[in-house]
A and B are shown apart, each in its own frame.
Chain A
Amino acid sequence: MKNAFVTAVEYYLPPSVYSNDDIARDFPEWPADKIFGKVGIRERHIAGNDECASDLAVQAAEILFRKHPEIDRNSIDFLIFCSQSPDYFLPSSSCLIQDRLGLPVSCGAVDINLGCSGYVYALSLAASLVKSSVARNVLLLTGETYSKFLSSSDKSNRSLFGDAGSATLVSPEGKYRIGAFAFGTDGSKARSLIVQSGGSRHKEPYGDSAKDFLFMDGAEIFSFTLDRIPQLVQETLSRNDMQKKDIDLFVFHQANTYILECLRKKIGIEKEKFYVCLEQTGNTVSNSIPIALAEAFSSGLMTGNVLLAGFGVGLSWAGTVLS
């Protein structure tokens, strides 16, 4: 069986910024320095009113094609778009993106509806397509606009989430070989992070902001994270025949620095090996890992073995190693 590699990763942030000073203005009881101290975020980029997640992903893909002229868009034979903010109920956003990017009509295209674990899941599918020779060049896009799910009065979530798009090319050759994956799902806790109205189960608004906007039970999510993610790291290492000491860089979903620091301490990872990259972006859901990877690439930190761990809404989690 062939190997699959991450060949290139780029991302796009919408220009509008919601800073800690803006939050302190909207919520005077929540001073800017306290926000940064708690969650490690200074600003979040927010999509415009007419800007969809697919628009952010298309921008990221165009950046990828521009910065990597060796990548011919006509060579893309499969497109995966990971988002929980589709343009329409139907058709799939990936079909619209195929046309907007001018990808060949022979290209396969699918949407994946996952959040913070989504990038690693989508990477596993992209790698499987390449390894099994079903596809040769898989363009993996993520795009998310959680800001549109947030109540204007929800200071906690508005402090955390930012919008973004990312583009990754997965091919049979490249620098970073994609290793084995570990996965997990616990749907019994789905209501810990949910938008209840708007879907087929309840199309009309409830008239209750806890149900019509994004609801997150921070304590439940934190408890799940502390319980499951150390196991996920262990399982990911084990499936790749590695030990913790073999990993040169850990890139987790960039939820917030509070959760990341608690996880780092619990798992016992040295600070120098634990990548934190959310100060200027916030928690960008499925974009957070590719943004961190792109920054790590450009900073020269991507050497040796890099362990990725995504976790969140679902509840859902997944890990892999890039080598």
Chain B
Amino acid sequence: MEFDVFLEKFAMCFDEKPAGTLTYNTDYHDLDGWSSMTELDLIYMLDSDYGITVKVDDIRDSKSIGTLFEIIKKRVGV
């Protein structure tokens, strides 16, 4: 499971691409455009593209895109 691919899919969950460069350490909760709708799009993306039902708390408690990526990577098992 590649971080770059995950990052691209993650960015597409936003209605408008967030300003600046998204990285492994970006705290997505602080990004302009992060909203309850983005959360839903992220849940759907993880379900449809990675086949997992994410725990909503994992999205809310993760401090960065990288932290969430590691959780998802572990769940996917590759």
Contacts and interface: CB of A to CB of B under 8 A. Distances in A.
A223 B53 contact: yes
Interface in B25-41: 36-37, 39-40
**Most chain-B Cβ atoms within 10 A of its Cβ — which of A222, A227, A265?**
A222
A141 B53 CA distance: 35
A226 B43 contact: yes
Interface stretch (A56-64, A169-177, A212-220): A212-220
A219 B39 CA distance: 7
Contacts of B44: 222, 226, 262
Given A219-B56, A220-B56, A265 B48 contact: yes
A222 B48 contact: no
A156 B36 contact: yes
Nearest to A218: B36
Nearest to B54: A223
Contacts, number: 33
Contacts of A217: 56
Interface in A33-63: 38
A27 interface: no
Size category of the binding interface on chain B: 10 to 19
Interface string A254-282: 00001000100110000000000000000
Main secondary structure of the interface of A (DSSP, over half): helix
A223 B43 contact: yes
Most chain B CB neighbours (cut-off 10 Å) among A219, A220, A226, A227: A219
Nearest to A156: B36
A266 B55 CA distance: 18
Contacts of A258: 40
A156 B35 CA distance: 12
A199 to B, nearest CB: 25
Nearest to A192: B56
Which of B43, B53, B59: most chain A CB closer than 10 A?
B43
B43 A266 contact: no
A81 B54 CA distance: 36
Nearest to A38: B37
Contacts of B70: none
Contacts of B37: 38
Contacts of A262: 44, 47-48
B56 A223 contact: yes
Interface in A57-77: none
A156 B59 CA distance: 20
B24 to A, nearest CB: 23
Interface string B42-70: 01100110000111100100000000000
Interface string B3-32: 000000000000000000000000000000
A265 B36 CA distance: 21
Given A219-B59, A265-B48, A266-B48, A227 B40 contact: no
Interface of B: 36-37, 39-40, 43-44, 47-48, 53-56, 59
**What 7 A-B pairs are tightest by C-beta distance, nearest first?**
A227-B53, A219-B56, A219-B39, A226-B47, A220-B56, A262-B44, A222-B40
Interface of A: 38, 156, 217-220, 222-223, 226-227, 258, 262, 265-266
Given A223-B53, A223-B56, 11 more contacts: A156-B36, A217-B56, A218-B40, A219-B40, A219-B43, A219-B59, A222-B40, A222-B43, A226-B44, A227-B53, A266-B47
24 contacts: A38-B37, A156-B36, A218-B36, A218-B39, A218-B40, A219-B36, A219-B39, A219-B43, A219-B56, A222-B40, A222-B43, A222-B44, A223-B53, A223-B54, A223-B55, A223-B56, A226-B44, A226-B53, A227-B53, A262-B44, A262-B47, A265-B48, A266-B47, A266-B48
